[in-house]
């Protein structure tokens, strides 16, 4: 069968398309950027499900402040590390999280931080959120990377599920070194995690002033830790 003739774009149509593409790219790069990372190893399945529900609350909390571009990152299994495109659509991000299932494996926090620093060198990030319950890596390595984040003005907001002392100590040090903040939660305080996520999203979208205007206890907790 003979192929139907295809319509060729005119020079003006191509120019218009390229301009729209550049405009969209420029808009995406101007949006405040938040990297949202979760440990998706086996022990994280209950909190992962909670995070999927709370994520939408995090974005709704910033609607009046600004539009965020968010990248979802997670690690799991045998060296698997995933990073989504930069997205500003809540439903797309929620769908991505719904598709993820936790798998047994070691933590890859150092890999996450190196990835964040690479992204930050391309277009600055306003903050990195990490939710996890374990740490199987060298604390000195993680603190070194956190210090690099601090020097490059990328604050880390580290939220620990549970109460392992070694994790708490390292996460606290990492938060201080990056000029970020640390908090702990458990299954009985899922609402607190939602508040914490909303507070960081407000900070990423509108800076310290937006966080100061957030009346939640979680916002006050983060403000106490953030350096002036």
96 domain residue, yes or no: yes
210 domain residue, yes or no: yes
What's the angle, vertex CA 198, arms to CA 157 and CA 180, rounded to 5? 20
Provide the CATH number for the domain around residue 190. 3.40.50.410
Q: pTM for the full model?
A: 0.84
Q: What is the pLDDT of residue 26?
A: 42
Distance CA 27, CA 29 (A): 5
Distance CA 171, CA 72 (A): 20
4 domain residue, yes or no: no
16 domain residue, yes or no: no
Q: What is the residue-level pLDDT of the chain in tens, covering all 228 positions? A: 444 444 454 666 555 544 443 444 444 567 899 999 999 999 888 877 777 777 767 766 666 545 789 999 999 999 999 999 999 887 788 788 888 889 999 999 999 999 999 999 999 999 999 999 999 999 999 999 999 999 999 999 999 988 899 999 999 999 999 999 999 987 767 778 888 888 898 899 888 988 888 888 888 999 999 875
Q: By C-alpha distance, which of 105, 158, 166, 114 is closest to 138?
A: 166
176 domain residue, yes or no: yes
Range of the domain at 111: 33-225
Number of domains in the chain: 1
85 domain residue, yes or no: yes
66 domain residue, yes or no: yes
Mapping DSSP to helix (H, G, I), strand (E, B) and coil, where does residue 16 land? helix
């Amino acid at each position: 069968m003979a192929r139907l003739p295809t319509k060729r774009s005119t020079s003006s149509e191509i120019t218009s398309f390229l301009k729209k593409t550049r405009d969209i790219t420029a808009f995406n790069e101007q949006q405040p950027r938040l990297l949202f990372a979760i440990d998706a190893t086996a022990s994280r399945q209950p909190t992962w499900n909670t995070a999927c529900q709370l994520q939408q609350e995090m974005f709704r909390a910033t609607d009046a402040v600004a539009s965020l571009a968010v990248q979802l990152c997670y690690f799991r299994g045998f060296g698997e590390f995933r990073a989504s495109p930069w997205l500003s659509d809540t439903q797309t991000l929620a769908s991505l999280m719904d598709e993820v299932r936790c798998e047994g494996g070691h933590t890859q926090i150092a890999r996450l931080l190196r990835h964040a620093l690479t992204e930050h060198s391309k277009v600055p990030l306003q903050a990195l959120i990490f939710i996890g319950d374990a740490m199987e890596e060298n604390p000195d390595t993680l603190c070194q990377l956190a210090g690099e984040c601090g020097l490059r003005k990328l604050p880390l907001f580290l939220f620990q599920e549970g109460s392992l002392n070694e994790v708490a100590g390292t996460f606290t040090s990492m938060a201080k070194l990056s000029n970020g903040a640390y908090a702990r939660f458990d299954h009985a305080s899922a609402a607190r995690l939602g508040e914490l996520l909303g507070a960081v999203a407000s900070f990423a979208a509108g800076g310290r002033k937006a966080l100061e205007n957030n009346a939640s206890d979680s916002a006050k907790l983060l403000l106490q830790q953030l350096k002036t």
